[in-house]
Amino acid sequence: MTAIKLKSQINRLNGEVVIPGDKSISHRSVMFGAIAHGETTVTNFLPGEDCLSTISCFRKLGVQIEEENGKLRIFGNGFEGLKEPSEVLDVGNSGTTIRLLMGILAGRPFFSTLAGDQSIAKRPMTRVTGPLKKMGTFIDARENGAYTPIAIRGGNLRPIHYQLPVASAQVKSSILLAGLQANGETTIVEPSETRDHTERMIQQFGGEIYKDNRTITVKGGQKLQSATVHVPGDISSAAFFLVAGAVVPGSEILLKNVGLNPTRTGILEVLKNMGANIEILHQDTDSFEPSGDIIIKSSSLTGTVVEGDLIPKLIDEIPIIALMATQAEGKTVIKDAEELKVKETNRIDTVVNELKKLGASIEATADGMIIYGQTRLTGGTVSSHGDHRIGMMLAIAALLSDDEVILENPESISVSYPNFFEHLNNLTN
Ligand code: S3P
């Protein structure tokens, strides 16, 4: 296994980072380009491993996708243009690829199989296979539909009225993509609002979708038209530098091109509640996905409570919020976040165990964690456990450490942020 020595004992971070494309929107841009009619162009697509898995799956489904100078061209022929794949669709580490793809394949009258890496094999799939079965597709998977590998023979979908048991944009999106192929109107009710990139993209590709509070309705049989998609920067990637700028004394960082979709900006609320010095500039609110630049300066921070409807708006930022809490005065409580247990790793356990190795005062609870600040972090050997967000959080933790920090398995970071270390190094020079 590879291991690297991380930069530690950093006095300040200064400079700017152009945040790479949003992972969720990049996945969807390929999927919608594939199921729409005509040539879709995508700029600022994230070339992270997860999004490359999505491209590779759609190529296996017969879709022509070209890449030139960081610009994607996708030649879609509608849902009907997808062809029976002759190989297993390998989703790698990507939960978004497999869950959304299941919704698309549920309506296709051919056979396909899906599988991924060891992490994907542990992630719950019944939340998607269950409602798709209700819509009438044939879908089966290991342990009664619960885990990969998955087999689907789709076609003839009936619409459903479905109350989501968990707040999950992946599950919602999968049912919406199946709903677009069903014979009638599909309605989904969310327990809490989750990221709405799929809903926005249905509109961007000329489709109709109705939203009333937490109830979303989509009609089947709509013909989607190709579009030009510009992917804003990923606020979940920006989060690592937002926290780094807030906690490393004497820092000032300009983060350019950050997606500011209100279903994703929970991290900004937490930063403000904890006393961070943050300013948003050049906001673009006219595009399908809003964006802007953010300046973060270091400041003293206080503990907070993160809970309830805020959780889905920052679900991927909880590891880095936990690190920030180690540098805040007083206690921080994170609750209502059981979903962390079924991410790329069990993120309650990995965050608590890895931060403890660096001397943090942190404990796991049934649905989150409690962190006591303010702690000086020490050195040690830590691991990403193959989870990109744990790897990046630990690289930011190391900046604050007085001693050497070794990170095992840093490669996983390229799942969502291939040039993370280059961007971090630019701020320390
Ligand atoms: C995502 C939704 C979230 C998030 C994941 C990406 C998406 O998962 O954690 O990284 O693109 O829809 P859930 O919707 O399952 O919580």
HEC secondary structure over 276-328: CEEEEEEEECCCCCCEEEEEEECCCCECCEECHHHHHHCHHHHHHHHHHHHCC
- 404 shares a domain with 280: yes
pLDDT at 302: 98
Element containing residue 17 per DSSP (H, E): strand 14-18
Average per-residue pLDDT for the chain:
97
Q: Which tens digits make up the pLDDT trace of 71-118?
A: 999 999 999 999 999 999 999 999 999 999 999 999 999 999 999 999
Alpha carbons 170 and 145: distance in angstroms, whole number: 17
Look at residue 204 and tell me whether its pLDDT is greater than 90: yes
Which of 208, 230, 252 terminates a domain? The answer is 230
296-311: buried (b, 16+ CB within 10 Å) or exposed (e) per residue?
bebbebebbebeeebb
8 A C-beta contact, residue 235 and residue 265: yes
Confidence grade of residue 209 (pLDDT, cut at 50, 70, 90): very high
The pLDDT value recorded for residue 392 is: 98
- Evaluate if residue 307 carries a pLDDT over 80: yes
DSSP summary character for residue 220? T
DSSP 3-state of 97: helix
- State residue 70's pLDDT score: 79
Ligand 1 in reach of 173 Cβ (< 6 A): yes
If asked whether residues 263 and 386 sit together in one domain, one would say yes
Rounded distance from Cα 170 to ligand 1 centre (Å) = 5
Percentage, residues of the chain above pLDDT 70? 100
Residue 429 pLDDT level (bands cut at 50, 70, 90): confident
Percent of the chain with pLDDT strictly greater than 90: 97
Please give the tally of structural domains in the chain. Answer: 2
Task: Specify the pLDDT at position 69.
Answer: 83
Is pLDDT at 161 greater than 80 in this prediction? yes
Q: Does the pLDDT at position 171 exceed 90?
A: yes
- Is 309 considered catalytic here? no
Give 55's pLDDT tier (boundaries 50, 70, 90): very high
The answer to whether residues 311 and 163 belong to one domain is no
239 and 224 in one domain?
no
Q: Could you tell me the CATH number of the domain that includes residue 183?
A: 3.65.10.10
Ligand 1 contacts CB of residue 97 (under 6 A): no
Exposed/middle/buried for residue 252 (C-beta within 10 Å: 0-12, 13-18, 19+):
middle
Q: Could you tell me which of 415, 355, 358 has the C-alpha nearest to residue 388?
A: 415
Buried/exposed 345-370: b ≥16 CB within 10 Å, e otherwise: bbbbebbbbbbebbbbebebeebbbb
Ligand 1 pocket member 339 (CB < 6 A): yes
Of the residues 230, 251, 283, the one at which a domain ends: 230
Give yes or no: residues 375 and 275 share one domain: yes
Residues 191 and 103 in one domain: yes
Shared domain for 219 and 324, answered yes or no, is no
Active-site residue, from 316, 336, 387, 403: 316
What is the domain extent for residue 309? Answer: 3-21+232-428
pLDDT of residue 405: 97
Domain final position from 177, 204, 230: 230
Give the model confidence (pLDDT) of 28-37 as tens digits.
999 999 999 9
- Does ligand 1 have an atom closer than 6 angstroms to the CB of 24? yes
Residues 226 and 267 placed together within one structural domain of the fold: no
Looking at the structure, tell me whether residues 339 and 259 fall in a common domain: yes
Query: Is 270 in the same domain as 226?
Result: no
* 212-218 average pLDDT score: 97
Mean pLDDT calculated for residue range 149-165: 97
For the Cβ of 174 lying below 6 angstroms from any atom of ligand 1, the answer is no
**Whether residue 66 is found in the same domain as residue 15:** no
Render pLDDT for 221-245 as a digit per residue (tens, 0 to 9).
999 999 999 999 999 999 999 999 9
Mutate to test the pocket of ligand 1, among 29, 49, 96 (most ligand atoms within 8 A of CB): 96
* Residue-level pLDDT at 1: 72
Is the pTM for the entire model greater than 0.95? yes
Confidence label for 391 from pLDDT (cuts 50, 70 and 90): very high
Express each pLDDT in 241-270 by its tens digit: 999 999 999 999 999 999 999 999 999 999
Q: Give residue 416 CA to ligand 1 midpoint distance, Å.
A: 13
Distance 383 CA to ligand 1 centre (A): 23
Same domain? 127 vs 106: yes
- Supply the pLDDT for residue 18: 98
